[in-house]
Structure 1
């Protein structure tokens, strides 16, 4: 086996697989959350402490919440003793639920 084949087989291919998995995971985590997740944040927003509200406002600066942002907000809410509950009815309109959360965040800033 030549050194080039050895490097390609035992180094380059596994390294490319690792890079592909990391890219897929980062793209998957940057996708916007769904309507039920926005609704759960909106419904519990009034019971959040000030620092968690500030974190939500910071995360909403781009106008949308990613799955990465949502998971950190859920962990923060659990640390504060607040459990988010998804609404019982089917929420399918992401735009409406996002606008509802944005309105709560904007009203809190005033």
Structure 2
């Protein structure tokens, strides 16, 4: 076996496969959540405990919530005793639901006290 065949067979091809799987796993989870997920957060926001509201604010630091951050929020919500429920109807588009959640975060006095 020549050195080039050895490198291609035992190094380059497995490395390329690993990189492809990592890219495949990361790209879909970096997209923004949909309107129902924003609506679930905004409709139950008033009843959420303060630490969980702080986690939502941190997730919205970039102005949107990625799918990966939402998955973390769902796990943290269960740890805080909160079950997120997607609304069955009355959901606007992503921009409107994101704006509604951002307004709730901005108006939350308890969140401001917690950050100081």
- Corresponding residue for residue 23 of structure 1: 23
Mapped to 2, the partners of 1:103 and 1:25 lie a distance apart of: 32
Query: How far 1:23 moved relative to its partner?
Result: 1.6
Aligned-CA RMSD value: 1.4
- In structure 2, the gaps of 5 or more residues are none
Q: For structure 1, which segment, 83-92 or 10-19, has the greater mean C-alpha deviation from structure 2 after superposition? A: 83-92
- 1:51 and 2:51 correspond: yes
Q: How many residues align?
A: 110
- Corresponding residue for residue 106 of structure 2: 106
Q: Is this contact kept in 2: 1:56–1:73, CA < 8 A?
A: yes
TM-score, length basis structure 2: 0.88
- Corresponding residue for residue 6 of structure 1: 6
- Corresponding residue for residue 89 of structure 1: 89
- 1:65 and 2:65 correspond: yes
Mapped to 1, the partners of 2:106 and 2:56 lie a distance apart of: 11
TM-score, length basis structure 1: 0.92
- In structure 1, the gaps of 5 or more residues are none
